[in-house]
């Protein structure tokens, strides 16, 4: 006869502390939602150190904004790993794209301020890798559309399907007005982006080499008003934000000294367009403080 299983006291303590953490997170997230008058909020979180997983409204679809660039990055490295695309391949930097909807040409509304180095290369070439870098680190729409053109929208979806990432739908490039009007839009869920970033963190997004290169690019992110704004200065974050008029998102891998990283996705939607928003940073801060509390810090 097997003896009845008795939980060791330390495991029971961990379980209790996790339950307490989850409850307090839930309360503070609701408070943030009310304080910022959010129309919608989606959060997904996974901590590799404690294996704690937590989510709020994580399967709700949001306008992807620039978080779709994570899926484009993934597709680029899929093609690279398969030997179908060398990262040093030259791409003509030309502001002319065909709508995915009616194949009619359109141009991006770009200038030196928004596009920086990619704009400077107009008329010349940049490598696939340079474009991937600018697509992520300065959120270049120009670089994104060039890469969507290089890999093709179907390949982006194939990459997501292959890695069993549900909850990310990429149907078109940026500023494709005809496709937008036809209802073809890019959408994400917090769980979808979490899955993608977990694979990148765990070296399972087309192998460790490709994953490592993607993490390097994501770590060079220049926009730090989202997740990093809720963290201590020393934290390093491999992330991609997505900001348009009424949505502010951020999805990233958080590296803190002396512990395994955690992956966090925060999607927010506002009823109307207003100025600077700190909801994403506030959620990020709460989660960090919650984890610090659990670690006895």
Partner 1 sequence: MAEIESESGLKIVDAFDLDPELRALLRPGELVEGIRGQYHHLPRYFYEIPSREAAREIRVTPHFGLNEFLLVDLKEAARVRAFPRYVPCAIRIAAFYLERLREATGAPVHLAVNGGYRSPAHKLSVAATPHMWGTAADVYKIGTVVLRDRASIETYNRVIEDLTDDLYVMPYGHEIGKADDHIHVDLGYVTVVPREISEDRLEGPQDKPRFAFEERRRGDRRGWPREPLPEVLPAAAHAGSTRSESQK
**Site residues, partner 1 (CB under 8 A):** 85, 89-96, 105, 107, 122-125, 128, 150
Q: What is the phi/psi pair of residue 8, to 5°?
A: -60, 145
The least distance separating partner 1 from the CB of residue 155, rounded to whole angstroms, comes to 14
The least distance separating partner 1 from the CB of residue 121, rounded to whole angstroms, comes to 10
Our CB check for partner 1 shows the closer of 35 and 92 to be: 92
The least distance separating partner 1 from the CB of residue 210, rounded to whole angstroms, comes to 19
279 SS3 class: helix
Our CB check for partner 1 shows the closer of 92 and 260 to be: 92
Our CB check for partner 1 shows the closer of 31 and 107 to be: 107
The least distance separating partner 1 from the CB of residue 134, rounded to whole angstroms, comes to 16
Contact 116, 222 (CB under 8 A): no
Residue in this structure with the two tokens 């904004």, named with its chain if needed:
65
The least distance separating partner 1 from the CB of residue 157, rounded to whole angstroms, comes to 20
The least distance separating partner 1 from the CB of residue 126, rounded to whole angstroms, comes to 9
Q: Give residue 283's region: left, alpha or beta (phi > 0; psi -120 to 50).
A: alpha
Our CB check for partner 1 shows the closer of 104 and 260 to be: 104
The least distance separating partner 1 from the CB of residue 117, rounded to whole angstroms, comes to 17
For 128-235, list the strands marked E by DSSP: 168-169, 187-188
Helices 141-151 + 128-137 axis angle, to 10: 130
Contact 268, 247 (CB under 8 A): yes
What one-character-per-residue DSSP string does 183-211 give? T---EE-HHHHHHHHHHHHTT-SSHHHHH
Our CB check for partner 1 shows the closer of 108 and 265 to be: 108
> Rounded CA gap, 207 and 50, in Å?
24
Q: What is the phi/psi pair of residue 20, to 5°?
A: -65, -40
Q: What is the phi/psi pair of residue 54, to 5°?
A: -150, 145
Our CB check for partner 1 shows the closer of 136 and 150 to be: 150
Say how many C-beta atoms besides its own lie within 10 A of residue 140's C-beta. 27
Our CB check for partner 1 shows the closer of 60 and 87 to be: 87
């Amino acid at each position: 006869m097997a003896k009845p299983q008795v939980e060791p006291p330390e495991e029971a303590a961990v379980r209790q502390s996790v339950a307490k953490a989850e409850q307090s997170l839930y309360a503070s997230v609701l408070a943030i939602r009310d304080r910022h008058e959010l129309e919608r909020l989606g959060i997904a979180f996974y901590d590799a150190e404690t294996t704690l997983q937590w989510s709020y409204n994580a399967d709700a679809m949001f306008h992807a904004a620039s978080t779709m660039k994570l899926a484009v990055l993934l597709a680029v490295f899929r093609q690279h790993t398969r030997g179908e695309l060398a990262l040093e391949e030259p791409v003509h930097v030309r502001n002319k794209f065909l709508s995915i909807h009616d194949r009619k040409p359109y141009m991006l509304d770009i200038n030196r301020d928004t596009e920086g180095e990619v704009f400077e290369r107009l008329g010349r070439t940049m490598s696939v890798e340079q474009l991937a870098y600018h697509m992520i680190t300065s959120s270049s729409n120009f670089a994104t559309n060039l890469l969507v053109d290089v890999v093709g929208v179907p390949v982006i979806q194939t990459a997501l399907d292959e890695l069993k990432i549900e909850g990310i739908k990429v149907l078109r490039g940026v500023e494709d007005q005809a496709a937008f009007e036809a209802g073809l839009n890019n959408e994400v869920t917090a769980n979808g982006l979490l899955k993608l970033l977990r694979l990148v963190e765990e070296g399972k997004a087309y192998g460790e080499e490709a994953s490592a290169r993607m993490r390097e690019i994501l770590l060079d992110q220049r926009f730090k008003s989202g997740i990093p704004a809720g963290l201590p200065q020393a934290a390093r974050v491999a992330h991609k934000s997505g900001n348009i008029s009424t949505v502010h998102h951020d999805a990233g891998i958080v590296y803190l000294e002396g512990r395994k990283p955690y992956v966090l996705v925060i999607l927010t939607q506002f009823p109307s367009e207003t100025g600077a928003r700190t909801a994403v940073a506030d959620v990020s801060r709460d989660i960090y403080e919650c984890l610090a509390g659990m670690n006895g810090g």
